[in-house]
A and B are shown apart, each in its own frame.
Chain A
Amino acid sequence: MKLTLWTYEGPPHVGAMRVATAMKGLHYVLHAPQGDTYADLLFTMIERRNHRPPVTYTTFQARDLGADTANLFKDAARDAFTRFQPQAMIVGASCTAELIQDDPGGLAEALNLPCPVIPLDLPSYSRKENFGADETFFQIVKVLAKPLPRSEAVTCNLIGPTALGFRHRDDVTELTRLLATMGIAVNVCAPLDATPADIARLGAAHFNVLMYPETAETAARHLEKTLGQPFTRVVPIGTHATRDFLAEVATITGLALPPETGLRQPWYAASVDSTYLTGKRVYIFGDGTHAIAAARIAAKEIGFEVVGLGAYNREQARSLRAAAKALGVEPLITDDYLEVEAEIARLQPELILGTQMERHIAKRLGIPCAVISAPVHVQDFPARYSPQMGYEGANVIFDTWVHPLVMGLEEHLLTMFREDFEFHDAAGPSHHGAKASARPEPLVAMAGASGGDIFPERMPERMPERMTAEPVTGEVIWLADAERELKKIPFFVRGKAKRNTEKFAADKGVTAISVDTLYEAKAHYAR
């Protein structure tokens, strides 16, 4: 048993629902107890779908357990076929039904329905949502995709986008446009908006674009092995990755590289207003694919310092470890948000890129944050066009990540006027939604005694250093002068300065930090 409050991923049958809901003409019969229908609202509310997920639940109750839940399943499957007339069905069990050991696959086969019925075996007690999606899509492809002659023109399949995917809708549009600039048409996009008949046509494409390894890598490998279709390894998130992706496609197809149109991110990052982004310390956590892509953008395209990199899905652990090693940071593979929170508190980044959970952690710690990966809430299924992939995706990412930071000029003004009674640093950035408050004290009272800082005892509530749990050794204390000096440092680097100074002091065996210690540490860590 493991005590859990937050889960980054749902159970595997939710992954199967993401595939079923993405597709058309497919129906999922899920052997599950009453109550499991809660998952419908992820699709109707978070993704705001205008139809019910194509899922029939057997919704067995306690009184059914003594009797025949197997017949309940058969009736549900038969009724679902009659009512929805799907081109194909998938059948499986949720965690509870897995325990009662009816065999949905065998039961459905016995019904002899006039459509392909694909049984799913999703181990609920050892695997999770992404595995469920990947395995379901693989099983569907395995049963339905057949060898076909290649299309005359060069075509590809886009594989991996699902329901409830982070920006999958717009990534598909963006990649379709991008490939069109090379003269490549999309044969089938799947599972998103594909029918079982479309899956049967996969074989006509010359190659596959693996958009999201989390949800389609197994299927991509299967298609490579059985239909001889190569698939792309680079996920085109970020300017550099998009260029690499197009080069990879050019190699596969022999086609020429297209011109770059609509790409503004490199100039924005090069413009002088972005100079202040240099070396900003960023922490990155998400699904493996998005986290790795984000790390590359952060380090190479925006000029941040990546101080931590992690993922919650073990399936991507190997590639994430490699990416972390290349950046010289410790990888964190965990699905425990408390571990992520502890790591963030320890590292004191200036920006967090993560999921919905990291957004809340960031809020708690008073650190700016942007969302780069599922799981996400309703606001990250936006009405406007906002891909992550391709050149427009690079533009979107630049805006999204920079927005929560204190802007360059604002940062400069805050440093200049940090003693100002209205424009003081504790008021926070102007666009964070928090209400700026004037300093509550009369300005002159302590000025003489404090030798500069007029509020020696007043530590604003939202300061990052409040959140660092302990000094490094627990023994180091701050002398009053040094503490006052620390407060003169702008708040967005103060947490780091405090931590560095304490570490420096501890390493030197200094137990009381003076102003001198502070500046010696500053010199020591100068970059």
Chain B
Amino acid sequence: MSLDTPFRSCTDTPVLKERGQREVFCGLTGIIWLHRKMQDAFFLVVGSRTCAHLLQAAAGVMIFAEPRFGTAILEEKDLAGLADANTELDREVARLLSRRPDIRQLFLVGSCPSEVIKIDLARAAERLDGIHAPNVRVLNFSGSGIETTFTEGEDACLAAMVPALPATDAAELLVVGALPDVVEDQMLALLAAMGAGPVRTLPARRSTDLPAVGANTRFILVQPFLGATHAALIKRGAVPIPAPFPFGAEGSTLWFHAVADALGLDRAKVDATLAAPRARAQKSVAAVAETLRGKRVFFFPDSQLEIPLARFLARECGMIPVEVGTPYLHRELMAPELALLPHGPTISEGQDVELQLDRARAARADLTVCGLGLANPLEAEGLTTKWAIELVFTPVHFYEQAADLAGLFARPLRRHALLTPEAAE
């Protein structure tokens, strides 16, 4: 970008809203990473064989590693008389808890079938909580496809935890959103070095470390899909810290600066703390960005990470976003991101997958970011794709992962060049 052109952002870009067939995961998928993060929690989906099959397909081989999730599959007799459902559920839960006595938090996860026949899982959770307290805390949220899209499952889960968190008057910083442990540790180390503290996280690794919340709590999100959790925390009196999301060197720096400003930390100390990791990130991203510079990228909606990632790719890697699709656009949370994203791309919310495929085929972007149901078919049409789910499962936040994040987008392009003789010439 030339210095004499004034910067124009996407803040006022009209959003293309579409409704139609959606090619997305439901919120149950969130269980797959949440159960790794919350080490004494079990996620019990109340649903159909389809739900169990989805989890199996999405979790791949992870399902063999003694996973702490399962599906209570509804059978015909459960549909016939709703009165049974509670007894059936109580029995299955008791069996489960006796088999896994290490479980301290049990989440009853609603699905499309359980929502449609209106099994009152909230009440069931309350009842079971009474039965199994104080050893096990029983909570409820919905990961159904009719209500949640992919990462919104984590939002629903965390939002369900918020009302049950203990109260406090302490002035603590709460960082919200599940991160891989290694990334969380990096973040906590930098926050400590900046002088921010005490710092708590939601979700916590174990139920004994659950954060408390109150009017003196300041909280900041690390994931863009946490709208309901954001609202639930505000309802508890906690004060949000708006910031862009910590992707790339710039995103991470702005995120730490937002914390520093909100807590009134010494800016010189903060910048001194961030200088080294920030320089590392800039240098390593620059190396990967060579592959990405000037390339056009098209995002299908998937996780709500699309806008922050497009911002990172545009500003730090020199890519040109053509369309940035998101399953849901939370205006307030996304405002700092839209203010940074250079004007140009279509921002679309929701999906009519056939129409969007038509646009993707017309755009023929250098890189199309999409789900696994679309990736191979688009590759077969000659489009280079990056499958989006990896962006949720892989450590990509903060400085040390910035180049890995850029690398996830560069790899398909490098591979394409390697395997295509004419591209090499």
Contact of A126 with B by CB under 8 A: yes
Q: In the complex the two chains form, is A94's CB within 8 Å of B373's CB?
A: no
Per a CB cutoff under 8 Å, which of B71, B75, B88, B91 touches A125?
Answer: B75
Q: In the complex the two chains form, is A40's CB within 8 Å of B73's CB?
A: no
Contact of A399 with B by CB under 8 A: no
Q: In the complex the two chains form, is A7's CB within 8 Å of B52's CB?
A: yes
Q: In the complex the two chains form, is A95's CB within 8 Å of B117's CB?
A: no
**B292, chain A: closest CB distance, angstroms:** 25
Q: Across the two chains, which residue of chain A brings its CB closest to B96?
A: A3
Contact of A50 with B by CB under 8 A: yes
Q: In the complex the two chains form, is A95's CB within 8 Å of B373's CB?
A: no
How far apart sit A51 and B25, CA to CA, in the bound complex (Å)?
Answer: 19
Partner-contacting stretch, out of A29-37, A214-222, A308-316, A477-485 = A29-37
**A407, chain B: closest CB distance, angstroms:** 28
**B51, chain A: closest CB distance, angstroms:** 8
Q: In the complex the two chains form, is A1's CB within 8 Å of B73's CB?
A: yes
Per a CB cutoff under 8 Å, which of A3, A9, A35, A83 touches B112?
Answer: A35
Report how many A-B pairs have Cβ atoms within 8 Å. Answer: 178
Residues 30-58 of chain A: 1 if any B CB is under 8 Å from the residue's CB, otherwise 0? 00011111111110110011111000111
With a CB–CB cut-off of 8 A, which chain B residues contact A9? 49
Q: In the complex the two chains form, is B376's CB within 8 Å of A3's CB?
A: no
How far apart sit A11 and B56, CA to CA, in the bound complex (Å)?
Answer: 12
Q: In the complex the two chains form, is B380's CB within 8 Å of A11's CB?
A: no
**B148, chain A: closest CB distance, angstroms:** 8
With a CB–CB cut-off of 8 A, which chain A residues contact B53? 7, 10-11, 14, 39
Residues 1-28 of chain A: 1 if any B CB is under 8 Å from the residue's CB, otherwise 0? 1111111011101100000000000000
Q: In the complex the two chains form, is B48's CB within 8 Å of A95's CB?
A: yes
**B303, chain A: closest CB distance, angstroms:** 14
Interface of A is mostly: mixed
Contact of A330 with B by CB under 8 A: no
How far apart sit A48 and B377, CA to CA, in the bound complex (Å)?
Answer: 9
Give residues 101-124 of B contacting A (CB, 8 Å).
112-113, 115-117
Q: Across the two chains, which residue of chain A brings its CB closest to B22?
A: A59
Contact of A449 with B by CB under 8 A: no
**A190, chain B: closest CB distance, angstroms:** 23
Per a CB cutoff under 8 Å, which of A10, A40, A64, A76 touches B49?
Answer: A10
Contact of B21 with A by CB under 8 A: yes
A49 touching B376 in the complex, CB below 8 Å, given contacts A3-B71, A10-B50, A41-B57: yes
**A11, chain B: closest CB distance, angstroms:** 4
Per a CB cutoff under 8 Å, which of B21, B75, B379 touches A57?
Answer: B21
Contact of B344 with A by CB under 8 A: no
How far apart sit A146 and B27, CA to CA, in the bound complex (Å)?
Answer: 46
Q: In the complex the two chains form, is A79's CB within 8 Å of B354's CB?
A: yes
How far apart sit A50 and B380, CA to CA, in the bound complex (Å)?
Answer: 5
Contact of A255 with B by CB under 8 A: no
With a CB–CB cut-off of 8 A, which chain A residues contact B190? none
With a CB–CB cut-off of 8 A, which chain B residues contact A49? 376-377
Q: In the complex the two chains form, is A35's CB within 8 Å of B24's CB?
A: yes
Contact of A96 with B by CB under 8 A: yes
Contact of B290 with A by CB under 8 A: no
Q: How many of chain B's residues have a CB under 8 angstroms from any CB in A?
A: 63
Contact of B212 with A by CB under 8 A: no
With a CB–CB cut-off of 8 A, which chain B residues contact A83? 354
Q: In the complex the two chains form, is A96's CB within 8 Å of B112's CB?
A: yes
**A32, chain B: closest CB distance, angstroms:** 8
Residues 39-70 of chain B: 1 if any A CB is under 8 Å from the residue's CB, otherwise 0? 00000101011101110111011011001011
How far apart sit A325 and B236, CA to CA, in the bound complex (Å)?
Answer: 66
Contact of B211 with A by CB under 8 A: no
Residues 52-84 of chain A: 1 if any B CB is under 8 Å from the residue's CB, otherwise 0? 100011111110110000000000100100010
Q: In the complex the two chains form, is B116's CB within 8 Å of A65's CB?
A: yes
With a CB–CB cut-off of 8 A, which chain A residues contact B144? 33, 35, 62
Contact of A124 with B by CB under 8 A: yes
Contact of A431 with B by CB under 8 A: no
Q: In the complex the two chains form, is A38's CB within 8 Å of B25's CB?
A: yes
Q: In the complex the two chains form, is A37's CB within 8 Å of B73's CB?
A: no
Q: In the complex the two chains form, is B88's CB within 8 Å of A36's CB?
A: no
**B92, chain A: closest CB distance, angstroms:** 5
Q: In the complex the two chains form, is A2's CB within 8 Å of B371's CB?
A: no
**B4, chain A: closest CB distance, angstroms:** 46
Per a CB cutoff under 8 Å, which of B48, B50, B76, B95 touches A3?
Answer: B95
Q: In the complex the two chains form, is B377's CB within 8 Å of A33's CB?
A: no
How far apart sit A5 and B66, CA to CA, in the bound complex (Å)?
Answer: 9
How far apart sit A477 and B226, CA to CA, in the bound complex (Å)?
Answer: 58
With a CB–CB cut-off of 8 A, which chain B residues contact A59? 20-22, 145
Contact of B209 with A by CB under 8 A: no
A52 touching B147 in the complex, CB below 8 Å, given contacts A10-B53, A38-B25: no
Q: Across the two chains, which residue of chain A brings its CB closest to B99?
A: A3
Per a CB cutoff under 8 Å, which of B67, B146, B374 touches A96?
Answer: B146
Which one of A60, A95, A96 has the greatest number of beta carbons of chain B within 10 Å? A96
Contact of B363 with A by CB under 8 A: no
Q: In the complex the two chains form, is B46's CB within 8 Å of A1's CB?
A: yes
Contact of A360 with B by CB under 8 A: yes
Q: In the complex the two chains form, is B22's CB within 8 Å of A95's CB?
A: no
Contact of B126 with A by CB under 8 A: no
Contact of B72 with A by CB under 8 A: yes
How far apart sit A1 and B113, CA to CA, in the bound complex (Å)?
Answer: 13
**A148, chain B: closest CB distance, angstroms:** 35
Q: In the complex the two chains form, is A34's CB within 8 Å of B22's CB?
A: yes
With a CB–CB cut-off of 8 A, which chain A residues contact B286? none
Q: Across the two chains, which residue of chain B brings its CB closest to A127?
A: B49
A58 touching B48 in the complex, CB below 8 Å, given contacts A7-B53, A33-B112, A35-B145: no
Q: In the complex the two chains form, is B50's CB within 8 Å of A52's CB?
A: no
Residues 67-87 of chain B: 1 if any A CB is under 8 Å from the residue's CB, otherwise 0? 101111111101100000100
Contact of B89 with A by CB under 8 A: yes
A51 touching B88 in the complex, CB below 8 Å, given contacts A11-B53, A56-B21, A65-B116: no
How far apart sit A96 and B145, CA to CA, in the bound complex (Å)?
Answer: 10
Per a CB cutoff under 8 Å, which of A38, A44, A60, A360 touches B146?
Answer: A60
Residues 106-146 of chain A: 1 if any B CB is under 8 Å from the residue's CB, otherwise 0? 00000000000000000111101000000000000000000
With a CB–CB cut-off of 8 A, which chain A residues contact B147? 61-62
Besides A1-B73, A96-B112, 6 more A-B contacts (Cβ < 8 Å) are A1-B74, A10-B50, A50-B377, A52-B373, A56-B21, A59-B22
The 8 closest A-B pairs by CB, nearest first: A35-B26, A35-B145, A40-B373, A50-B380, A96-B112, A95-B48, A41-B372, A34-B145
Can you list 22 A-B contacts with CB-CB less than 8 angstroms, sorted by A residue number? A1-B73, A3-B72, A4-B52, A5-B52, A6-B63, A7-B53, A10-B50, A11-B49, A35-B149, A37-B373, A38-B25, A39-B53, A40-B23, A49-B376, A50-B379, A58-B21, A59-B21, A99-B116, A124-B49, A125-B75, A126-B75, A364-B64
